[in-house]
Amino acid sequence: MELRDMLFMVKNGEISIEEAEKYFRKKSFEEMGYAKVDMQREIRSGYPEVVYCSGKADDHLLHIFETLYRENGEVLGTRASKEQYTLVKQSIPEAAYDEISRILKVEKPGKQKRGRIAVCTAGTADIPVAEEAAQTAEYFGNFVERVYDVGVSGLHRLLAKIEEIRLANCVVAVAGMEGALASVIGGLVERPVIAVPTSVGYGASMGGISALLTMINSCANGIAVVNIDNGYGAGYMASQINRLAEREL
Amino acid sequence: MELRDMLFMVKNGEISIEEAEKYFRKKSFEEMGYAKVDMQREIRSGYPEVVYCSGKADDHLLHIFETLYRENGEVLGTRASKEQYTLVKQSIPEAAYDEISRILKVEKPGKQKRGRIAVCTAGTADIPVAEEAAQTAEYFGNFVERVYDVGVSGLHRLLAKIEEIRLANCVVAVAGMEGALASVIGGLVERPVIAVPTSVGYGASMGGISALLTMINSCANGIAVVNIDNGYGAGYMASQINRLAEREL
Amino acid sequence: MELRDMLFMVKNGEISIEEAEKYFRKKSFEEMGYAKVDMQREIRSGYPEVVYCSGKADDHLLHIFETLYRENGEVLGTRASKEQYTLVKQSIPEAAYDEISRILKVEKPGKQKRGRIAVCTAGTADIPVAEEAAQTAEYFGNFVERVYDVGVSGLHRLLAKIEEIRLANCVVAVAGMEGALASVIGGLVERPVIAVPTSVGYGASMGGISALLTMINSCANGIAVVNIDNGYGAGYMASQINRLAEREL
Amino acid sequence: MELRDMLFMVKNGEISIEEAEKYFRKKSFEEMGYAKVDMQREIRSGYPEVVYCSGKADDHLLHIFETLYRENGEVLGTRASKEQYTLVKQSIPEAAYDEISRILKVEKPGKQKRGRIAVCTAGTADIPVAEEAAQTAEYFGNFVERVYDVGVSGLHRLLAKIEEIRLANCVVAVAGMEGALASVIGGLVERPVIAVPTSVGYGASMGGISALLTMINSCANGIAVVNIDNGYGAGYMASQINRLAEREL
Amino acid sequence: MELRDMLFMVKNGEISIEEAEKYFRKKSFEEMGYAKVDMQREIRSGYPEVVYCSGKADDHLLHIFETLYRENGEVLGTRASKEQYTLVKQSIPEAAYDEISRILKVEKPGKQKRGRIAVCTAGTADIPVAEEAAQTAEYFGNFVERVYDVGVSGLHRLLAKIEEIRLANCVVAVAGMEGALASVIGGLVERPVIAVPTSVGYGASMGGISALLTMINSCANGIAVVNIDNGYGAGYMASQINRLAEREL
Amino acid sequence: MELRDMLFMVKNGEISIEEAEKYFRKKSFEEMGYAKVDMQREIRSGYPEVVYCSGKADDHLLHIFETLYRENGEVLGTRASKEQYTLVKQSIPEAAYDEISRILKVEKPGKQKRGRIAVCTAGTADIPVAEEAAQTAEYFGNFVERVYDVGVSGLHRLLAKIEEIRLANCVVAVAGMEGALASVIGGLVERPVIAVPTSVGYGASMGGISALLTMINSCANGIAVVNIDNGYGAGYMASQINRLAEREL
Amino acid sequence: MELRDMLFMVKNGEISIEEAEKYFRKKSFEEMGYAKVDMQREIRSGYPEVVYCSGKADDHLLHIFETLYRENGEVLGTRASKEQYTLVKQSIPEAAYDEISRILKVEKPGKQKRGRIAVCTAGTADIPVAEEAAQTAEYFGNFVERVYDVGVSGLHRLLAKIEEIRLANCVVAVAGMEGALASVIGGLVERPVIAVPTSVGYGASMGGISALLTMINSCANGIAVVNIDNGYGAGYMASQINRLAEREL
Amino acid sequence: MELRDMLFMVKNGEISIEEAEKYFRKKSFEEMGYAKVDMQREIRSGYPEVVYCSGKADDHLLHIFETLYRENGEVLGTRASKEQYTLVKQSIPEAAYDEISRILKVEKPGKQKRGRIAVCTAGTADIPVAEEAAQTAEYFGNFVERVYDVGVSGLHRLLAKIEEIRLANCVVAVAGMEGALASVIGGLVERPVIAVPTSVGYGASMGGISALLTMINSCANGIAVVNIDNGYGAGYMASQINRLAEREL
């Protein structure tokens, strides 16, 4: 029953004040709930549900992909295995899989890419995480400039590319080991930098905790950090920022 | 001497090619250095140097304030003590100090505030950090909406304010103890959320590390994290995002 | 304006359906918010707001105490200093302060104590935390049995008291250092044990983290843990459980 | 020899005072020991021994299941593998196994479920731990309401179910990643909340330590925490509380 | 009432079997309790109660000292302040205080020192902890050989003393910073080594945690570790071992 | 060549003073070195070299076993795999292997066991570590009393055995999970307790770190700790203490 | 285009001031960049690129080896697998592989080894890391003295070799477990010591973190630390120091 | 008595074989001991004893300064307070004190400074640690180039100075917060870099642990790390390296 219907019933005396009051008390939670937020997701922001594939049961995954594909005409999955790709492909032949980023998706063709996000990595081993960020951002309609393998141990590589990076509305800096890349980029560009620590490293890198601490303690301005290896999260936030920058006021 | 002036002198023969070459070779670093970044800082992004006051020697602090005030007509200092305020006030009577945020500044009057940043706190004890964020953003010309004391232990307070928060281009979520506020806001709004863990708490809060971990591991999308108690850093990044959102394309 | 008033206005045609709908959409948060939870707090559960005094500004604290005292006729404050007691006492002469637990309160006389909660400590240094738990529980109308200084280094002391502890509906086990008390009690009684690690200890006790880990890893059944030194939290939960046990079905 | 027999012998002079004294000194430990606690387990509390299957040798496991089944007519095993199920099934055809919770049990039919415990999870990946809690509680004769996948990143889902959760005597909140669910539920319900951190997560979740810290530092009242992934422990304690609530005074 | 008295009453029919049975069931805890362990403490092992002075209230401390002095004719206190010494001295003029070890004691004169314990330190800053160990052992009647400032950065100092150390039944190795002393001694002597990490150090020594880890991971045989700065604990255990070595079979 | 042989040659003029001097200068390290420690190992203490098998190359392991067996007539290896047993068995048919403790050894028959060491475990999962301790101690000629599965969650089991434990010269307490066993035993016996944390546990047990911290922070006297799962180290030190206790003065 | 050319064009009016300004802004970064640093690597220092093989894709690895071999006539790869060796060998028959150090290389014959670096290990399990250091240093033209298995639990072995170690210009000390070797060597030699913690150990060694802390906190002078298991890094730095020592002024 | 004398006595029968054997066993340790290492310190390496002043008792400190001054004609003290300076000055008027580095010394005039060490800092707050390094190196006769405030958040400052830094034989990189400076310098220079993390920072910098981890995990070659704030240790090792580079072969 809709809110409006209830109000009509009150007006017409079809329901007592007491019963209506009870209804509204109970409704107050539900009201704010499901539909409203869903509306935001689908209509206002254009960010449809994204599927975290890792660990999902086969039939569960397939069902989710089929449902989202039917409703939205496209669907994005992260952390997918090759086996999951084979599975989904049998049902949705348009499904595509990228082994580097482990992204499994069905994407509407001819999507326009707007604005500019720079995705940078310190080393080549950081590329899988960076690709998760880049492809997530592209799926959400952003233009992405990739600037890979520009870690601080060979600073010239970064400096040679810095003007390209500066053109972006937002920079994603992906680095493992000591994670110094984010600080150096943060000191060279004026746009927000989203730092992604990766689990790349050995010894005392502690699975990315060391890089995370480096980035959180950065002495440069305009840097914020997401979870270790969380390329998706960085791509999502970069998309939010790039869209803000490109919207027409 | 400005780059442009030097070029005029070359063009007009006031300086030989050899001397100009020597200047550019030598200058290439310095030029790219201080002045250039200054240009960026001052002209392109409008972010002048900000002074971290804590621990600075008196004469050093005074000199920096006087220099920046002379060049820019205004200056922003963070983590200042009341004693430092008294010191600066004697030289610059226009200096103002806020005991909550510990911000010491001289600000140009009539500054226009654009766009909208929401700064939220979980509890009242988080307000000093939030004020550092809010006042930093205001100094940089952003409009700030304060939404304080909306922690998740009394969710109704947050929900009652959620529509106001949704109007912002960017949200700063400040929380100590378990730091769950950022996740809940991240699940309710579609704009980027900058999470600031605070050192508020006791027991196993470990000076903010616990809140930091909560925020980094957030299951919600669109959240990135700055250092513990780093209100300034959050205000700076929120300003970067808000400006992008408000710029004319 | 009250929910009920609004419904009368709808019924009487004093407001249009559209305006009422708008009101309810907007109100849904506020309405669900403050008042509702307040109702729960005050009417259903009988747990009024409790004041965490530490770090509160003097006028803020005084205002809160006066307001809560006026509305509820009593008020409980935790982590209060002696100075805060003096302050509140000037305004509310009935205020009482306990230096051990640091509880500052105004309490209705003749409160009946129901059921039974056992509050145990390993050593005498854990007593301040235990008293915070015990006095919180007593304030909420529970009968509390104190069993102090029964740590495992002298097991006979605990065993001599075990029958008394077994009479309780719920046990609060307070211990610092290695925190083994909770495990031993958990193995001897059949009621829920709320374990409170304390910051008592030295060396590698790391401010209570060591005791916290001991309690979380307990091999005994029926133990759950609250934050380090969080006597209030343990007293609150023990009160919830004891009330459940004593309610008439 | 029974205590009573010894006393008769003393009375009848069949044993000297000295020998009896020696017997009682030695007996004092044994007395309090085995039989007594067993009595408690079986008769007073109705919680029979539960088998932690993981890592047990095949013949050892089988022997324990057969013995407990013979004595109690039912037996509960946790963390069992499918192979262990096949093993036990051959000897006890009534044995049942649940792959999600990894619970292997033989249960008396027609068990009555009393009271109400709500078991909630943040995500679907937390369900195995939640099921261990739920099925443990059900085995001990409690009615369990499951409320899954109501994490704080989509708050509407939780709010839509909150009235159902409020009906419970005790809530078990199961969450990995940042673990904020417990705080939010703790702020919305008035019954004790047992928080179970899970090892679900990646990056800086550190196998559940991050969620554990979040829950321990919760700003909400009435929350206590058990070990990471310890669904059994939460189900056990929830059962203790629910039974207290449902007992006849 | 004594156990023996009760048995006489049973024998003489002054009490029924049922009442006696009830008494013994209840007594089983108490009986095993206080007196028995006390007997051990005082008679069998000769280790009377030791007072941890730090943080004790003045009247509490004084009462304990007076009581123990009256009963035992001597008393040992650790971690005492100079103020506590002045306090106790007023009541017990025989009290003596050592500022280095912070031991406050009243000791029976002419105590014989048996066997041999070697107490070694890496540096001079470790001496306060070493003295707590040494003086504790001496109070308990052991002969102590002090070998201070023999840290591994100047190995010759240790090697010059190694024959003296080898004469001991047990070695206490006290070291802060990197704590390597224990390993080196462990490799050179054949007696048990009790390693005491100290909080001496800076930087990444983390208040002694680093030295503790070094000692726990020692590659040498025959080393066990006590808590950081726990000189008393090391002295106590060294005394246990030395007495075993010196007892007449 | 032996030291004594060289001296005879000097005495008899078979070697010049200069050559002897050169020998002693060069030898001073080696002599002090290998042979001397060997002498200690073999003659004074009777502790021959023990082989840590894990990770050793096949031919290396075989060579070490053959050499030590030839020189000493027996040899003890720890952390051996079944494959290593098969390997050694082919060369030394007397080799024996215990799957629980993973000890691989060749032992002289008819070895007398002296004194008494009690080896206790909290649970059955701790037995492999306990067996490594017990069998190491037995190999070194000590009598060992095993007291297994007496963890504090069922205190009666421990109390029923406490008199047996008290007969030992030294107690080895092996426990994982929360590790409270060592504290409880430490409070009940007057002999030195060597605590061995094990990696048994789950959730926040962190591979034994939690149990290690519990034991290090123990409030009981007379406890020292070895590394996680280091049964060998505990057995070795227990042997040192038991031998001291049993030696004839 | 050269800087000088641009200046001539400005002088001659062939380019506008604005365009020249733009050029110099852009140039300022490039200037310092690529070529310059590359020159250092290849010409000035003689340290060619080294390949970290682990995790590299087969064709990627092969391409890098072929390219570097063609350009430099030799190539060094670390952390290579046997499979990678087989792969490279097919294309470059001169490739050699060492299973211990996991170094895969093609090396110019007849390389002269200069100066002296001592590489020491505590145990035999540390040898793989030590060999990575030693072979890296040898590849770079340094003479290396290996001193293995001289850990502090048998100090005589180290002392017997100390004079050889003292001949080196630089010492690499490789140790796991408690890592005390570096401190002891640091106290005995006057040359710089590069300490390499290894992940060798068990229990609380935490994958080398414990050894790392020991080395960082060393009380000896002249010790600096590289990452856990980072033999390559130690060999590289030792080579830098040895070359400095051997250069002709 | 000399070794040679002893051998003569053996030869001449003035001492028995047994007594000589005993002598050599005992001597073997002393031989290697005290005098030998001392000789190294004073004669071979020219590094006299340095005094760590912090925490030393007044008379102890004074005595050490006077003794070392008398023997060496100069003395270096680190971590000295102003009060300690006043104390020493009264006895040794030539004593000088630097408040920044907290170095208290008496230095021979006209000391020649050889070679070149570059000491760099990220920020101005790192200067005290850098000065401890620089002044230590200068005291040991090295020429030091200071390059301060060149942190990576303003990379141009570092690049402008990079050629000066490249002239040094060895670089000391001092940085707090995220500590990225060492990596960037390591990537730009070919000489060994000694990285010194400082405790400068806030939030999650954890007293320098974060910077330490950054430096240990550096992706650049030729970096080794000393303890947090250990300027002295870095200056000492830099001096060792610089001397090697400047020695005449």
User: Does the pLDDT of residue D182 top 80, yes or no?
Assistant: yes
* E178 → closest Cβ in G188, G205, G217: G217
Element (H or E) spanning B101, and its range? none
pLDDT digits (tens, 9 = 90+) for A100-119: 999 999 999 888 999 999 99
| Strand order from edge to edge, sheet including C103-106 | C50-52, C75-78, C103-106, C96-98
pLDDT on residue H106: 96
Q: Would an 8 Å CB–CB cutoff place D213 in contact with chain B? A: yes
Q: How far is CA E4 from the centre of its chain?
A: 35
Asked if B210 and D214 come within 8 Å (Cβ–Cβ), the reply is yes
pLDDT on residue C135: 97
pLDDT on residue B19: 77
The alpha-carbon gap from H229 to the nearest alpha carbon of chain A, in Å, equals 17
pLDDT on residue G16: 81
Nearest CA in chain A to B235: A222
Nearest CA in chain G to F196: G203
**What's the whole-number average pLDDT of chain C?**
86
Question: What residues of E are in contact with residue D8 (Cβ under 8 Å)?
Answer: 17
Find out whether A97 and A71 touch, Cβ atoms under 8 Å. Answer: no
Question: Sorting pLDDT into bands at 50, 70 and 90, what band is A190?
Answer: confident
Q: Would an 8 Å CB–CB cutoff place E29 in contact with chain C? A: yes
| Burial class of residue H110, CB neighbours in 10 A (0-12, 13-18, 19+) | exposed
User: Does the pLDDT of residue A246 top 60, yes or no?
Assistant: yes
User: Does the pLDDT of residue G237 top 80, yes or no?
Assistant: yes
* C17 → closest Cβ in A11, A17, A29: A11
Asked if B249 and A244 come within 8 Å (Cβ–Cβ), the reply is no
Percent with pLDDT over 70 in chain H: 88
Portion 39-68 of F in contact with G at CB < 8 A: 55, 60
Asked if C202 and E26 come within 8 Å (Cβ–Cβ), the reply is no
User: Does the pLDDT of residue D190 top 70, yes or no?
Assistant: yes
User: Does the pLDDT of residue D177 top 70, yes or no?
Assistant: yes
Asked if H29 and E155 come within 8 Å (Cβ–Cβ), the reply is no
* Cα dihedral sign, A232-A238-A244-A246: negative
At H20, the amino acid letter reads A
pLDDT on residue F156: 82
Lowest mean pLDDT among A57-66, F38-47, H61-70, H118-127: F38-47
- State how far the Cα of H183 lies from the Cα of H189, in Å rounded to an integer: 10
Lowest mean pLDDT among A29-38, A121-130, C182-191: A29-38
Q: Would an 8 Å CB–CB cutoff place E160 in contact with chain H? A: yes
Question: Sorting pLDDT into bands at 50, 70 and 90, what band is D226?
Answer: very high
- State how far the Cα of F240 lies from the Cα of F234, in Å rounded to an integer: 10
Lowest mean pLDDT among C222-226, F67-71, H45-49, H238-242: H45-49
* F219 → closest Cβ in C177, C209, C213: C177
Q: Would an 8 Å CB–CB cutoff place H101 in contact with chain A? A: no
The alpha-carbon gap from E132 to the nearest alpha carbon of chain C, in Å, equals 15
| Burial class of residue G89, CB neighbours in 10 A (0-12, 13-18, 19+) | middle
User: Does the pLDDT of residue G27 top 80, yes or no?
Assistant: no
Q: Span F35-55, mean pLDDT? A: 57
pLDDT digits (tens, 9 = 90+) for G87-107: 999 999 999 999 999 999 999
Query: What is the three-class DSSP state of B193?
Result: strand
- In 3D space, the residue among G129, G56, G119 whose CA is nearest the CA of residue G98 turns out to be G129
Question: What residues of G are in contact with residue B36 (Cβ under 8 Å)?
Answer: 25, 28
User: Does the pLDDT of residue A142 top 70, yes or no?
Assistant: yes
More confident residue, E60 or F133: F133
Lowest mean pLDDT among B189-203, C65-79, F40-54, G54-68: F40-54
- State how far the Cα of H27 lies from the Cα of F153, in Å rounded to an integer: 56
Best of H24, H32, H37 to disrupt the F interface (most F CBs within 10 Å) is: H24
User: Does the pLDDT of residue G64 top 60, yes or no?
Assistant: yes
pLDDT on residue D45: 46
Q: How many CB atoms lie within 10 A of CB D177?
A: 32
Find out whether A220 and A115 touch, Cβ atoms under 8 Å. Answer: no
pLDDT digits (tens, 9 = 90+) for B74-94: 999 999 999 999 999 999 999
Lowest mean pLDDT among C146-155, D31-40, F103-112: D31-40
Question: pTM (2 decimals)?
Answer: 0.86
The alpha-carbon gap from A124 to the nearest alpha carbon of chain B, in Å, equals 24
The alpha-carbon gap from G124 to the nearest alpha carbon of chain F, in Å, equals 9
CB pairs under 8 A between A and D: 42
pLDDT on residue E2: 52
pLDDT on residue A38: 36
User: Does the pLDDT of residue B42 top 50, yes or no?
Assistant: no
- A125-129: which pairs have CB atoms within 8 A and are 24 or more residues apart? A125/A176, A125/A198, A125/A200, A125/G55, A126/A174, A126/A175, A126/A176, A126/A198, A126/A200, A127/A100, A128/A100, A128/A101, A128/A102, A128/A231, A129/A174, A129/A196, A129/A198, A129/A229, A129/A230, A129/A231
More confident residue, A99 or E249: A99
B171: left (phi over 0), alpha (psi -120 to 50) or beta: beta
User: Does the pLDDT of residue A44 top 50, yes or no?
Assistant: no
User: Does the pLDDT of residue A234 top 80, yes or no?
Assistant: yes
Question: Sorting pLDDT into bands at 50, 70 and 90, what band is H150?
Answer: very high
Q: Span A149-162, mean pLDDT? A: 87
* B204 → closest Cβ in C32, C60, C228: C228
Q: Span F213-240, mean pLDDT? A: 95
More confident residue, C35 or H90: H90
Kindly give the confidence (pLDDT) of every residue in chain C, 249 residues in length, as a single tens digit, with 9 standing for 90 and above.
456 677 778 888 888 877 776 666 544 433 333 323 333 344 434 577 789 999 888 988 999 899 889 888 899 999 999 999 999 999 999 999 999 999 999 999 888 999 999 999 999 899 999 999 999 999 999 999 999 999 988 788 898 899 899 999 999 999 999 899 999 999 889 899 999 999 999 899 999 999 999 999 998 889 999 999 999 999 999 999 999 999 865
pLDDT on residue B131: 97
Q: Would an 8 Å CB–CB cutoff place C209 in contact with chain E? A: no
Element (H or E) spanning D140, and its range? none
Asked if E160 and H29 come within 8 Å (Cβ–Cβ), the reply is yes
Q: Would an 8 Å CB–CB cutoff place B178 in contact with chain D? A: yes
The alpha-carbon gap from G185 to the nearest alpha carbon of chain H, in Å, equals 12
Question: What residues of G are in contact with residue H225 (Cβ under 8 Å)?
Answer: 216, 224-226
More confident residue, G115 or A2: G115
User: Does the pLDDT of residue B96 top 90, yes or no?
Assistant: yes
pLDDT on residue H23: 66
Nearest CA in chain A to G54: A125
pLDDT on residue D118: 98
Nearest CA in chain G to B33: G28
Q: Would an 8 Å CB–CB cutoff place F166 in contact with chain D? A: no
pLDDT on residue G23: 66
Question: What residues of B are in contact with residue G19 (Cβ under 8 Å)?
Answer: none
pLDDT on residue B88: 97
pLDDT on residue C28: 40
* F224 → closest Cβ in E45, E194, E221: E194
Nearest CA in chain A to B243: A245
- State how far the Cα of A51 lies from the Cα of A88, in Å rounded to an integer: 13
Asked if C202 and E33 come within 8 Å (Cβ–Cβ), the reply is no
* G24 → closest Cβ in B3, B11, B17: B3
Nearest CA in chain B to H150: B33
**What's the whole-number average pLDDT of chain F?**
86
Three-state SS across chain C?
A: CCHHHHHHHHHCCCCCHHHHHHHHHHHHHHHHCHHHHHHHHHHHCCCCCEEECCCCCHHHHHHHHHHHHHHHCCEEEECCCHHHHHHHHHHCCCCEEECCCCEEEECCCCCCCEEEEEEEECCHHHHHHHHHHHHHHHHCCEEEEEECCCCHHHHHHHHHHHHHHHCCCEEEEEECCCCCHHHHHHHHCCCCEEEEECCCCCHHHHHHHHHHHHHHCCCCCCEEECCCCCHHHHHHHHHHHHHHHHCCC
Asked if B237 and A248 come within 8 Å (Cβ–Cβ), the reply is no
Lowest mean pLDDT among B55-64, E206-215, G10-19, G206-215: G10-19
Q: Span B148-175, mean pLDDT? A: 91
Question: What residues of B are in contact with residue A245 (Cβ under 8 Å)?
Answer: 244-245, 247
More confident residue, F145 or B163: F145
Asked if A153 and H204 come within 8 Å (Cβ–Cβ), the reply is no
| CA A130 vs CA A111, A166, B141, F217, G60: distances in Å | 21, 18, 33, 45, 19
Kindly give the confidence (pLDDT) of every residue in chain E, 249 residues in length, as a single tens digit, with 9 standing for 90 and above.
456 677 778 888 888 877 776 666 544 443 333 333 333 344 434 577 789 999 888 988 999 899 889 888 899 999 999 999 999 999 999 999 999 999 999 999 888 999 999 999 999 899 999 999 999 999 999 999 999 999 988 888 898 899 899 999 999 999 999 899 999 999 889 899 999 999 999 899 999 999 999 999 998 889 999 999 999 999 999 999 999 999 865
Asked if G192 and H241 come within 8 Å (Cβ–Cβ), the reply is yes
Q: Span H49-74, mean pLDDT? A: 89
At E190, the amino acid letter reads E
Asked if B212 and H204 come within 8 Å (Cβ–Cβ), the reply is yes
Best of G150, G210, G213, G223 to disrupt the E interface (most E CBs within 10 Å) is: G213
Q: Would an 8 Å CB–CB cutoff place A7 in contact with chain C? A: yes
| Subunits adjacent to chain F (3 or more Cβ pairs under 8 Å) | C, D, E, G, H
Asked if A33 and D160 come within 8 Å (Cβ–Cβ), the reply is yes
pLDDT digits (tens, 9 = 90+) for F33-44: 332 333 334 443
pLDDT digits (tens, 9 = 90+) for G110-120: 889 999 999 99
Q: Span D136-156, mean pLDDT? A: 93
Query: What is the three-class DSSP state of F164?
Result: helix
More confident residue, H42 or E105: E105
Question: What residues of E are in contact with residue H199 (Cβ under 8 Å)?
Answer: 203
The alpha-carbon gap from B181 to the nearest alpha carbon of chain D, in Å, equals 8
Instruction: Give the CA count within 13 Å in the CB-facing half-sphere of F85.
Output: 16
* E177 → closest Cβ in G123, G151, G217: G217
Q: Would an 8 Å CB–CB cutoff place B1 in contact with chain A? A: no
